[in-house]
Structure 1
Amino acid sequence: MPWIDELMATHPGLNLRVQITDTNVDFYRDSVDMALRYGAPSDTNLYGFKICDVPRLLCASPDYLSRHGRPIHPDDLENHNGLFYQLQDIPFDLWTFKRGDEEYRVKMTGDRASNDGDLVRRWCVAGRGLAIKSCLDMSDDLLAGRVTTIMPDYAPPVSELWLICPTRQSITPAMRLLRDDLRAKVGELMNAMIAGGFFPPDRLSGGKKDA
């Protein structure tokens, strides 16, 4: 929201009505012009712009690690508490990691799950357990030292951030303005996290796929 506030201050002709939800809205039912989503659009009828690749990171607070130890291999996770995002009451508790050509799948246990991704972030910062989160969601906490990354050699799957809309006619100058501003600001943030050692540059493909 601070990024959008800055954009609106620079371009006072813009108006904003926002819905914040961790589920996919129906563009027509909910009268939404555009949406910012993780993951490439699966509906071929939608149009949009890829903003960036988004590394996902295994994170915990320093306090949690001081009390429970730092896992160094996926097999160590069975001794730790998972914090889960859930969709339609199904928690995402099967965690996948890759190291080179090897893939590891871990069925986690944990005492907290929520359909609100930001609540999972706050639990992680508060030292309640481990969470796999988008680096964008955790960027402020990572750069401030409130959380740290774990098992950097074992990478969860990379996601994508997309700005999408229901029709080609919805690709307005305002949407292109927001797209360009988001790409610039996300790029600065990604560079700061790479410089901080939170993930290597090769976790980003750098592709910008427009549809």
Structure 2
Amino acid sequence: MAFNIALLIDILPHTLNFVAKSALIMRNTDNFLIFYHLIEQGSFSKAADQVGLTKSVVSKRITRLEQDLGVQLVYRTTRKLTLTEAGEVFFGHAREVYYSVQNAEEAMSGLGESLTGTIRLTVPTISGELLLPKAISEFSAKYPEIHIDMDLDNRFVDIVKEGFDLAIRTGELPDSSFIARRLVDAHWVICGAPEYFARNGVPKIASELVNHNCLAYSYQETGAKEWLFKGENKPYTIKVNGNFTTNNASALRRAALFGQGLVYVPKVLVAEDLKAGSLIEVLQEQVAKCLGIYAMYPYTRHQPIKVKLFIEHLYQCYQKHEDKF
């Protein structure tokens, strides 16, 4: 076959340009991954372990990346790394690249036992102490190589800034930048111990609560002592009073079991007590409070498969125990 020198001369610059662009893309992809691990791990040495490079090489790659971009991405101190405004933007894209790589690897290797990594979730204390431990145990039995890192906290956590994959949230969901999967609706109940009713009588209508010791759960958007009831046209609240207020649902439940007073709490918290008769529900047809429980996660085009599987598992678990809510 004759070798066409003219053709080679014509296509060679285009070929070299393509190779150069490909090399640039590959280099940038590596830098995205290095930067992702640097921020996730919080140190150059830990990031180096993740990507199989030395600490000095990782440091040089980040410095070169900042030079190429013309912006500073992180503030470096001897104790910690802090993202700049540009760094936060770049980290969002770096996370997308990391998830894309993870999804590709998982798709090629197949699902099931091969799934690995960590899922970080933030959860209110009631959910974290009741149904979730069993749900996580069942999930871990199916996917033993996936590590679940659960943080119990009643505060409103910024899941993007604090590096969580998802959050379990109850109630209103104002932030449209997140995707929410409804798990179940949580109905609230008013209940007390039999000995409390033996001493104080049983309220028949909501207005009679002013004569009762109503123990308050302070972790509520509507207020600890503003109890919500059904009205003819719309819900209304009654202001109650009592001698105990707490932000810990377990402590509130124990106080009710000891006969101290009435509580207005999510049914799931006391479902077993109601079944056993150690607590008795009152005003059942008049209580109005019902809040959705959601799995919330940041919008991303490349959500990790392990997170999708975990959310679906949570949904099935909550639905299976819907009668407790």
TM-score by length of 1: 0.80
Distance 1:171 1:99, change over 3 A: farther
Q: 1:44 maps to which residue? A: 176
**Map of 2:217 onto structure 1:** 85
Q: Distance in 2 between matches of 1:91 and 1:157?
A: 13
Instruction: Please say if residues 165 and 307 of structure 2, whose CA atoms lie closer than 8 Å, have aligned partners that are also in contact.
Output: no
2:276 maps to 1:144: yes
Secondary structure, aligned partner of 1:31: coil
SS for the counterpart of 1:18 is strand
Q: Which residues of structure 1 form unaligned runs of 5+?
A: 195-211
5+ residue gaps, structure 2: 1-132
Does the CA-based 8 Å contact 1:165-1:171 persist in structure 2?
Answer: no
Q: Would the alpha carbon gap of residues 74 and 176 (structure 1) be closer, same or farther in structure 2, given more than 3 Å must change? A: same
Report the CA distance between 1:159 and its aligned residue: 0.5
1:50 counterpart letter in structure 2: R
Separation (CA, whole Å) in 2 of partners of 1:115 and 1:155 = 21
Number of aligned residues: 192
3-state SS of paired residue (1:15): strand
Q: Which has the higher helix share?
A: 2
Residues 155 and 91 (structure 1 numbering): CA distance in 2 closer, same or farther, change over 3 Å? closer
Q: How does 1:46-195 map to 2 (within 5 A)?
A: 46-87=178-219, 91-99=223-231, 101=233, 103-169=235-301, 171-191=303-323, 193=324
State how far apart, in whole Å, the 1-side matches of 2:173 and 2:146 are. Answer: 26
The answer as to 2:156 corresponding to 1:31 is: no
Q: Is the 8 A contact 1:58 1:156 kept in 2?
A: no
> 1:176 corresponds to which letter in structure 2?
K
Per-residue deviation, residues 141-194 of structure 1 (Å, max 9, x unmatched): 222322221111202221100001133357433333233333333223223x59
Alpha-carbon distance in 1 for matches of 2:302, 2:226 = 37
Alpha-carbon RMSD: 2.4
Shift of 1:53: 1.3
Residues 101-138 of structure 1: per-residue CA shift (max 9 Å, x gap): 36442110011111222222222222221111112222
| CA gap 1:143/1:180 in 2 versus in 1, 3 angstroms | farther
Instruction: Give the aligned partner of residue 146 of structure 2.
Output: 14
Q: Which moved more, 1:166-175 or 1:36-45?
A: 166-175
Point out which structure has higher relative CO (alpha carbons under 8 A, 6+ apart): 1
1:140 positional shift: 2.4
C-alpha displacement at 1:40, in angstroms?
3.5
CA distance in 2, matches of 1:136, 1:12: 28
* Aligned-pair CA distance for 1:100: 5.0
Contact 1:72 1:151 in 2 (8 A): yes
Give the structure-2-normalised TM-score. 0.54
User: By how many angstroms is 1:12 displaced?
Assistant: 0.7
Cα distance change, pair 10–145 in 1 and its aligned pair in 2 (3 A): farther
Q: Is the 8 A contact 1:78 1:108 kept in 2?
A: yes
Q: d(CA) in 1 for partners of 2:245 and 2:282?
A: 20
Give the conservation status (yes or no) of the 8 Å contact 2:136–2:148: no
Deviation readout 1:56-113 (Å, 9 max, x if unpaired): 111212222222211110111011111212249x951011100553644211001111
- Between the aligned partners of 2:171 and 2:155, the Cα distance in structure 1 is 12
